Amino acid sequence: MARKFFVGGNWKCNGTAEEVKKIVNTLNEAQVPSQDVVEVVVSPPYVFLPLVKSTLRSDFFVAAQNCWVKKGGAYTGEVSAEMLVNLDIPWVILGHSERRAILNESNEFVGDKVAYALAQGLKVIACVGETLEEREAGSTMDVVAAQTKAIADRVSNWSNVVIAYEPVWAIGTGKVASPAQAQEVHDELRKWLAKNVSADVAATTRIIYGGSVNGGNCKELGGQADVDGFLVGGASLKPEFIDIIKAAEVKKSA
């Protein structure tokens, strides 16, 4: 079964209501490949989720950038998976490297979050990736495997999981993993899934790339056999996000 190309736009902590309306307008007017070719998800900050959800075209979906690790309650400032479900938000991004690094979210904590969100019926974009120090030490696969294992230990059904490989050294730095570097890690990650989860999960789970993806490099990256799409940061706030969505065509013609 061919894996459907997936393009996610992570808006991070950016935007005013006016700016958000402009981005949504640009997306709504865009000519992009049909839903059977590409799945598009955008992830605005929490406060703009209802605005985006209510105004965005029906063939694009909305994701939260995070959610709490268990049922809501006395957790000031947190947003629970149940609340997202209640608002009809289908997707959530979990384990983004900024949260792992700045907010000290551990592999186990991220694994728990993924399992809980899935149990509530959310679909999850689960992020993994190594720092520059880890890559230079030659431990990329050890790090990525440990991050993935913490998820695999807690998740039995992978049908609602997309893995985002984001080398931390390439996020927002302008440095991009070369198509060969990205393909190598995606291939190793798929082999890890085959060995540690199942051949079926390895074959069907989408592994997308994130890290300074833009209109100029998306076609070559997207053309790699094991790159099933992108999680786009800064460029998702710009019109070039449309070009990145269109890169899904490289798979159709491959």
Catalytic residues: 96, 166
Q: Kindly report each contact of residues 230-234 with a partner whose C-beta sits within 8 Å and lies 24 or more positions away, as own/partner.
A: 230/6, 230/7, 230/8, 231/8, 231/10, 231/93, 231/125, 231/127, 231/164, 231/166, 232/7, 232/8, 232/9, 232/10, 233/10, 233/12, 233/171, 233/172, 234/172
Strand partners, 231: 8
Angle, nearest 10°, between helix axes 107-119 and 140-152? 40
Q: Which letter does DSSP use for residue 244 in this model?
A: H
The pair phi, psi for residue 159, each rounded to 5°, is: -65, -25
Q: What's the token pair of residue 144?
A: 């990525």
Q: Among residues 115, 120, 118, 124, which one has the least CA distance to residue 93?
A: 124
Please name the residue that has the structure tokens 């000031």: 76
Q: Among residues 202, 8, 4, which one has the least CA distance to residue 91?
A: 8
Q: Among residues 155, 49, 38, 163, which one has the least CA distance to residue 95?
A: 163
Beta-carbon contacts of 88 under 8 Å, excluding residues fewer than 6 positions away, are 53
